[in-house]
Amino acid sequence: MSKLDRLINKHGLAQILEMPTPLARAVFGEAPVNDLGAPLDYQTHMFLQVKEKVEPTELPEMPLAKAREVYDDFTYSLSPDARVAASKDVRIQTRAGTLHASVHRPGPGNLPALVFFHGGGFVVGSAAGYDPICRYVAAKSGCVVINVDYRLAPEHPFPCGIEDAIDAFLWVHKHADELNIDRNRIAVGGDSAGAKLSTVCCQQLLLADQPLPAFQMLLYPTTRHGVKSESSRLFAKGYFLTGYTMDWFGDTYLAGYDHDEDIRVSPFYFERKGELPPMLMMTGGFDPLRDAGDEYAELCAAAGCDVIHRREDTQIHGFWTMGGAIKVARKATDDAIAILRRRLAANL
């Protein structure tokens, strides 16, 4: 049994991540440096090695039910959490039926809101797994957070998730008075697949001349399908989200639909970027999706969209749901929440 195996058996993840630096370096070695010259955050470096020992099997190699369980356990256990004034479940009526969503309210009054879409490659992930981070966002931002349980592939492939995201936003907008939220201050946001749903939702609403969100909070989205970038090559293995898993997500979600330049598949190609709602784009320096997200933000800004672009150079994909254990991830999460709070407060 290796030294790391003994540590994992004796201590929990939280204790391992708090090890004194000299001892940690003796066990885990030096952190890698990316093409930007930034070292991987050391706690994240430790976490990746522990994860490889505890759960080396990738999601595509698991039965689907097991993959969903593992992903939900991960997001639920590692996300930061906070108490809110009230939480309740609601049913959202859509063109396809009924969706479940959890609503987290930080306090009284007619508040701004965030319609949130979870990550998981359109195949795994759930509102239940993301409830801790959504409570945290509500408590820290002063926004009511509506955490939507949209449909997943393979049971419900493309474009079901997109339809759900659009319908969920329009339902919240229509029922703003009942939810006691400010109809003029409703943002959309999410991480990874949920961030893609958020920006595609904005694009499709704009094309349909429907009410638009006041803000979009995009956390390391996938914006361009089928195009390999430098970051997708550099970080295809060993940095949490792998190329193997991304291919599985794409194949499962698209189910043979091969129109990579469809803006619902690749929002990168949307032509009216300057008309989109204000945007926060947050990417990670060790994320295979980094380059496409960075370029999308830059193109949107060049077209005239109001863009705040933050790249967390020392972080991997998925850091938004790791802030309960990793300090730098928590700081990045708090920064995103502070931006959301300021922007919705300003949009009166």
Cβ atoms 222, 292 nearer than 8 A: yes
pLDDT at 12 over 80: no
Q: Give the CATH number of domain 60-346; options: 3.40.720.10, 3.40.190.10, 3.30.420.10, 3.40.50.1820.
A: 3.40.50.1820
Task: Using a pLDDT cut of 90, give the percent of the chain over it.
Answer: 88
pLDDT at 5: 52
Catalytic residue chosen out of the listed positions 45, 104, 225, 317 = 317
Catalytic residue chosen out of the listed positions 167, 287, 291, 294 = 287
pLDDT tier, 10 (very low <50, low <70, confident <90, very high otherwise)? very low
Does the active-site annotation cover 287? Answer: yes
In the chain, which ranges are E strands?
86-94, 97-105, 111-117, 144-149, 181-191, 215-219, 279-284, 307-312
Task: Give the Cβ contact number of residue 233 at 10 Å.
Answer: 11
pLDDT at 258: 80
Query: In whole angstroms, what separates CA 313 from the centre of its chain?
Result: 17
pLDDT, one tens digit per residue, over 248-301 is 999 999 998 988 789 999 999 999 999 999 999 999 999 999 999 999 999 999
pTM, two decimal places:
0.95
Average pLDDT of the residues in 19-39: 93
Q: Is 294 helix (H, G, I), strand (E, B) or coil?
A: helix
Higher-pLDDT residue of 18 and 166 is: 166
For 172, list phi and psi in degrees, rounded to 5.
-60, -45
Does the active-site annotation cover 317? Answer: yes
Catalytic residue chosen out of the listed positions 192, 198, 231, 232 = 192
Strands 111-117, 181-191: pairing kind: parallel
Cβ atoms 332, 338 nearer than 8 A: no
What are the CA-CA distances from residue 319 to residues 123, 330, 334, 343 (Å)?
19, 8, 12, 22
What are the sequence ranges of the domains in the chain? 3-58, 60-346
Amino acid residing at 46: M
pLDDT tier, 40 (very low <50, low <70, confident <90, very high otherwise)? very high
Q: What's the sign of the alpha-carbon dihedral 209, 99, 76, 110?
A: positive
pLDDT, one tens digit per residue, over 297-335 is 999 999 999 999 999 999 999 999 999 999 999 999 999
Does the active-site annotation cover 89? Answer: no
pLDDT tier, 346 (very low <50, low <70, confident <90, very high otherwise)? low
